Each structure stands twice: as structure tokens, then as C-alpha cells.
Structure 1
Amino acid sequence: MAVVAVAGCTDSGDSGGDSASGELTKVTYLTAFNTFGREGYAYVAKEKGFFEEVGLDVDIQVGTGSGENMAALQSGAADFAPVDSTGYMLTKANGKTEGITAVAAVQQRSMVGIMTLDDKGITTPKDLEGKKLGDQNGATTSILFPLYAKLAGFDDKKVTIVPTEAGALGPALGQGRVDAIGQFVVGQPLIEKAAGGGTRKAVSLPFSDVITDLYGHFLLTSDKIANENPEMAQKFATALLKGMDYSINNPKESADILAKAVPETDVEVAAAEMVIMKTYTIGDAPKLGVVDADRVAKVIAILEGAGSIPAGKTPADFVKIDLAPKA
């Protein structure tokens, strides 16, 4: 994993470089987690010159998950990073992070879900009863699991959650130590490969099929950048989403571009992840990146109802709606 360097970050007082004059503003971006195929859109935006078009010189560094990414943004060690929206809202609402905000939706539908294999006999949520679910401590999947179970019509207390580190989830499932795992559903090709090279097929149970209002990742930045340099924040979001649009419509090329930057990339798996992500990225929104205040309010109500966040929060506590792309 790359070490995040503070020196790579922009001065928030700079409104963005002038690409015509060759003066580019340096900013640091963290991937959501690692360099899986689902992260290829940022590398596409850089390779295709989309960042440069808006006057930005972007240093893409390897993110290590939502908590670490939020900490890097809060400290100023990074300028932008995608973070699971639900995890972010839970963390911020409970006072575990501050000084950061969302400026766009990377995916319109949550990619959080449960993944199993076709030989486990789990095809519906209720089939999870009596089974073992591997998940990381404090993961969004585990936090939302009781609400998911209630809405899907099964008893969450009949499911044994086995604490499992992120890197051990695939092996735990493949080796039969658990029957299902908490996993972003876009990771299906990777899990199938880890479970036997495609001879066993993955089965996904997306939370978005049941809890329909949840967003996927939000693009986060610091309050300092959002307040003092909103133009640069919007330029970055526009270029990143342009990379996403290109990637979901050209998944093989996206995987090839990612492999140029990250040689160990499995191009076939990376392309397959991007194909799956297209549905979650677009959703029902008229364009990429849109964040709707009324919908965010519904998510807040869901989390309040689950007892996961204190009452009284508003969309403005989490998102700079005026900076997000408009429908």
C-alpha cells in the first residue's frame, strides 16, 4: 500500500490551474480500497487527460478503506477520496470524524451486500438463517444487517456473524469456514476466482434490493476545499465522473489502462467488475454524480430508524448539495 504524502496536496486557496498555460494544480486522490478493477475509472480519467483538461495534476494513491481515507482527508494528507456513503454518514453522525463533506455520488446505488457461492444453498435472504456470515468488525454490512433482515423478512439472530479481516473474506468463503461474506457486490468476479477459478459461481444479495434509497460511494473532500475552493472541487468531480462514464462504457479498455499503472492487475477480472458496476453507478439518476437532498433525508431516516445515528441530522451535515452535479 502506498503511503499518503501530505506534500502532494493542493493549497485550497488555489482555484485550479490553467491547462492552456500549462499551469496545473496538484491534488492527491485516494482510491476507495486497493487497486481493484472497480477503481479503474480514476486511472482512466488521468490517462485520457480529463483531469488535465480542467487544470489538475492528480496523484492517484492507493486507499486502504473508508476509515483511513476519511482520516487522510481530515488531516489534509489527501484532497479527494471515494468512501462508502453509509459508512461515512454513520461515522460522521456519531462524531468519529469531522471536517469533511461529500460533493458527488460515485454510485447511485449501494454496492454493499452479501456474497455466497452457488453450492451453499443460499439464493434468497431468508436462506441465511442458520448460516455463518463472515464480515469485518464495524463494517457497513454488519451495522445494517438487522435492518436488512427486518425488511427482507428473516431473523438476523439466527445468523452467526464471524469476525473476519478484509483480506481473509474470500478464502474463508472458498474454504467453507463461512457460508457467506459481507462484500461489495461488484467483487463477484474476484470472489469467483478466489473460490476456484470460476468453477463455483458467486451469488450476490445486494442490500439495495431491499434498502432502496442507499447511495454507493460518495466523493469526499475536506470542508476547507469545499468552502474555500468550490470551483476546484467541482472540476475534480466532473473529470473523475467523466472517467467513470468512459470506464463503464469501455470496461476492457478501462482494465487495460489500469494494468498500465498497476501491472499485477487481472485484466479479465477488472473488466468484469466494471461491467457489474455500471448498473450501480447509473441507477435511476439522469446523470452521473447527482445527489438529491430529499433522498439523503430518507437515508438519514433509515439510519435513525435503525438506531445507528442520533436524531436531528440533515442532508447539509453530510453533503454540499450546491456543489454536487445537478439532475
Structure 2
Amino acid sequence: MQAHAESTARGGGLPVRFILNTFFSGPQAWFFLAADKGYFAEEGLEVTFAQGNSLARAVTTMTTGDYDAGYGDLNELVRMQAEGRRDTPIAVMAIHNRPPYTIAVDAGGRIKTAADLPGARLVSHPQDAAWLLFPEFCRATGIDPESVDITLSSAPHTEMVPQMLAGQWDGIFGFVNTVAAQAIEAGVDPAVSLHHLAWHTHAPAFYGGAMMVTRAFRDAHPQAVAGLCRAVNRGLADTVADIDAAIEAVARRNPALDRKANRARLVGTLALEMGDAAATQGLGDVEDARLETIARLICEAKGYAHRPSPAEVFDRSFLVPPSERARMPAA
């Protein structure tokens, strides 16, 4: 059975309540490796990790007052600011340089490009970040969102993938590496059976996951926020250096973890979502011009009047110096 929460408490540190994007899994390994190596404790922090329901919902969950920090969707944070929410968290460290979102389709089917989507039957989890960003995907690709039929389902991707390949749907919303890993768990070879209409190809301005804190926590504990960034940066560097140790850190929290699938998920995440500019510049910062483009696409797609500035959603003042940032292996 998976535990709901896991604490790094070692006594005497500042408590930090941290909401993750989903259950304890491979693409979160750096948080757990940082905890196991004592990096949070060295910063005077006692971090308690709670499992979340989605990358997008984690941002909303942080507005409840139950959490101080979290791992959420940077694009959803922009959307909430554009909507007029002033209780949103603030992002302090980008984890994904590229968006992880996709519509996975049958590699042998008729859908090859975004232009083939009209008339398609798609399925999504209710709070899937890819589905929430589908209007923006359509805006970027010139597709009419009303031309696509979308079913919402809470079934796991391990069930959705075989059902989609059997013809129940034409495509599945999700993360590229999550869908691929759960296809493996379902006995499907994703490299052979799946084709991706990925956001990083069709709507490359978007980011993905970022570490966030509440504005109240940032204002009250700026040194703790800087410490979180330092500890997670060290965990990221250690994850790149030893993938197997990182997966073991996850498995200690989730003994039922499918190690093979989650190792593939982690390796794929490091390569796809984190392996672009990070290979030479290091992880953590964002490009203001991209945040401005995201805000424009969201406002155009959803009809918001307020276009948030980069400073409203991202505070880079807590990042470690560029020379110390974790880097991905060069492609």
C-alpha cells in the first residue's frame, strides 16, 4: 500500500508541507534522493511530501493553506493569474524545460499530425494538464477544439492504452513518458505501438512542472525557499549521476513500484522534458519571453483580459548560481 505522505523530519528543522503532482513515482526521484541524502536537513528543513492528483491540480491545492510548497504545472499557474486569482503560489524553480504533454495515438492509425485531429475521439483524466491545455494546443496549431470529441475517465493509462489500440478511442491525453511507462506495464511496446502529438513539437512555448511556494511562505521564510532550491538542485544532480539509486529512493516510499517502467519514465523525463537547454545551461530558470507567449496563448484561448507578467508567476531570486545548477547529459 502506498503511503499518503512521507516526512524527512530529523528534529528541529522548519516544517515544510510539500504537495507532489501524483503518487510517488520515477519522475519525482530527485526529491526523495535529496531527502535520503540529508540535503533538506542540512538546510534546516523538515519536508513532508504528500501525494497529489495531477500536476495542474497541485497548483490549486496550494491555495487551500494546507501546503507551503509543491510541484505543479507552471502553465496552470499562469492561467490562474490570468483568471484573476491572487491567492496563487509563486514558482521559484523550473524543473521541466519542455512541456511533457501529449496526445498519444495508435502508431498505425490515421492520425499522424495535429491537422488529423478533427473528428477524433479522445480520452483524458479529469484534471490532466494536457487536456486542460488543449484549447491552447488548438490555438497554436489552428485546430477547432469543438471538432474533437473528448471523454473524461478516471481509468488508469494501463487500461486506456490497450482500449485505445483496440479502437475505443483515437487518442489519450497525458504525459509522453507517463503514457509510455504505463503502456509498458500493460504489456504494450510504446516505441512500436504509440505515436505522440506532443506539445514540445506543436506548442513549444509551454513549460511543464516547477517547484512552487506560497507567497506567504516566501515572504516569511526566504532563506528556507533558497534552501529548498539548493537541496532539490543537489537531488537533481545526484539523480542524473545515479539513476538506479534515484529509483531505489522512490521504491522506499512506494514498495509496489514497477521499477522497470518507472526507470524508463525517469530516464525519458530527464531526456525529453529536462534535456534541452539544461544540458548546457543548467536547470531552474525560465525565459521571460516564453512566459509572455504562454500568457498570450492562454488569454486568447480562454478569453481572459489580464495577461500576467513573468514576475507575477516566477521569482528567480532563490535559484543557485548558474555555475552550480544541475545539468543533463549532452544529447
Amino acid at match of 1:209: T
**Alignment-mate amino acid for residue 161 of structure 2:** L
Is residue 2:300 matched to residue 1:300?
Answer: no
> Is 1:186 matched with 2:174?
no
In structure 2, C-alpha distance between the alignment counterparts of 1:289 and 1:271, rounded to whole Å: 23
Distance, in Å, in 2 between the alignment partners of 1:60 and 1:144 is: 26
Q: For 1:160 and 1:261, locate their aligned partners in 2 and report how far apart those are by CA, in whole Å.
A: 38
- Matches of 1:93 and 1:154, distance apart in 2: 23
Deviation by residue 1:260-295 (Cα, 9 ceiling, x = unmatched) = 221001111111111111131243241111133333
The match for 1:74 is: 63
Indicate conservation of the 8 Å contact 2:80/2:88, yes or no.
no
Task: Pick one of 184, 187, 190 that aligns with 1:196.
Answer: 187
Corresponding residue to 1:218 among 180, 197, 210: 210
What is the match of residue 284 of structure 1?
Answer: 277
Could you say if the C-alpha distance between residues 9 and 191 of structure 1 is closer, same or farther in structure 2, counting changes exceeding 3 Å? closer
Q: CA RMSD in A?
A: 2.9
Residues 231-277 of structure 1, C-alpha deviations (whole Å, 9 max, x = no match):
11011022112212322343222112211221001111111111111
Q: Contact 1:188/1:204 (CA < 8 Å) preserved in 2?
A: no
Q: Say if 1:293 and 1:150 are closer, same or farther in 2 by CA, change over 3 A.
A: closer
**In the alignment, is the contact (CA less than 8 A) between 1:282 and 1:288 conserved in 2?**
no
Gaps in structure 2 of 5+ consecutive residues = 323-331
Change (3 A) 1:138 1:215: same
1:148 is matched with 137
Partner deviation per Cα, 1:58-95 (whole Å, 9 max, x = no partner): 22221222465335433332221111111222123214
Matches within 5 A, 1:1-327: 23-66=12-55, 68-95=57-84, 98-137=87-126, 139-152=128-141, 154-165=143-154, 167-176=155-164, 177-198=168-189, 201-279=193-271, 280-285=273-278, 286-325=281-320, 327=322
What is the TM-score when the length of structure 1 is the normalising length?
0.84
8 Å CA contact retained: 1:9, 1:77: no
CA-to-aligned-CA distance 1:206-236 (integer Å, 9 cap, x gap)? 2121222211112111111111211110110
Structure 1 residue 326, shift from structure 2 partner: 5.5
Distance 1:252 1:188, change over 3 A: farther
Q: Deviations over 1:16-74 (max 9, x none)?
A: xxx9xx84323222221111211222111111222223222222221222465335433
Q: Which amino acid aligns with 1:102?
A: A
* Bigger Cα displacement from structure 2, 150-159 vs 71-80: 150-159
For 1:253 and 1:135, how far apart are their aligned partners in 2? 32
Instruction: Count residues in correspondence.
Output: 314
Distance in 2, matches of 1:180 and 1:31, equals 26
Answer yes or no: is the 8 Å Cα contact 2:40–2:231 preserved in 1: yes
Contact 1:4-1:77 within 8 A present in 2 as well = no
- Give the 3-state SS of the residue equivalent to 1:265 in structure 2: coil
Q: Is contact 2:104–2:176 with CA below 8 Å preserved after alignment?
A: yes
Letter in 2 for 1:307: K
Distance change (3 Å), C-alpha of 1:252 and 1:197:
farther
Distance 1:308 1:163, change over 3 A: farther
Q: Deviations over 1:293-314 (max 9, x none)?
A: 3332222122223235323421
Does the 8 A contact of 2:120 with 2:149 survive in 1?
A: yes
- On the 8 A contact 2:84/2:306 being kept in 1, the answer is no
Corresponding residue SS for 1:306: helix
How far has the Cα of 1:156 moved from its partner?
4.0
CA contact (8 A) 1:135 1:169 kept: no
Using the TM superposition, give the Cα deviation of residue 98 of structure 1 relative to its aligned residue in structure 2, in angstroms: 0.9
Q: TM-score, normalised by structure 2?
A: 0.83
> Do 2:229 and 2:318's aligned partners in 1 also have CA atoms closer than 8 Å?
no
- Closer, same or farther: CA 276–231 of 1 in aligned 2, 3 Å: same
- Taking every aligned residue pair, what percent have the same amino acid on both sides? 20
